[in-house]
Amino acid sequence: MHGYRGYLQADAYTGYDELYRSGEIVEVGCWAHARRKFYEAQDSDRERALVALAYIGRLYQVEKRGREDGLSPADLCALRRQESAPILSDLHAWLQAQAQAVLPRSPMGEAIGYALGQWTALTRYLEDGDLEIDNNAAERALRRVALGRKNWLFAGSDEGGRRAAILYTMIASCQQHGVEPFAYLRDVLGRIPSHLQSRIEELLPGRWEPAPPRAPVAAHPAQPIDG
């Protein structure tokens, strides 16, 4: 993260707090994490939990419509400000009212406390259409790391861990862009030595196009052997 400036989307893990302290990295919250707490609170406070889930479901409906309509980031941002912002405003007022009526340490109290404590981060996705409502994509990408940890446990060294992180990132990026990872790596690793450094972004998974097949070399006709 050294030198990075911009948005970082994650859950409310306190280990990230130091990253946000300077203001150069801006926290973006995850509505999937907030929703999960209300979902788990159904066992003890079903009525309130269902109200909260209904509000959050409406937010996701806006996102679904934006994806289905193929909106650009700018148009999605406008849609969110027009439709999601009023829902969030109503939800915020409801959460503040319910916070006075539940026990803070109850499942519902903790769910409400999480949402209100993260409210600025949870509503930051309204600012930019390139931001997501949650970080589920990152959570899905990390599953392969957990699977690897279960199967082979160690990376071998710090340098091995760094290389593994790079490969995990490349494979997850391929998956996100619908690119077959083995075909991508085989093609790109063969092209890198002769590819211009100034055009290296052309080889990223989101922009990559396979190299055109080489023209077959014409075979020379066999020469008669003098005898």
Q: Token pair for residue 150?
A: 């279960």
What is the chain's mean pLDDT, rounded? 89
Is 11:121 a contact under the CB 8 Å cutoff? no
pTM above 0.85, yes or no: no
What's the distance, CA 184 to chain centroid? 21
pLDDT of residue 183: 93
Is 30:123 a contact under the CB 8 Å cutoff? no
pLDDT of residue 121: 96
pLDDT at 1 over 70: no
7 φ, ψ (degrees, to nearest 5): -85, 145
pLDDT at 51 over 90: yes
Is 98:112 a contact under the CB 8 Å cutoff? yes
Map out the domains of the chain as residue ranges: 6-134, 137-203
Tokens 């290389």 found at: 163
Is 3:24 a contact under the CB 8 Å cutoff? no
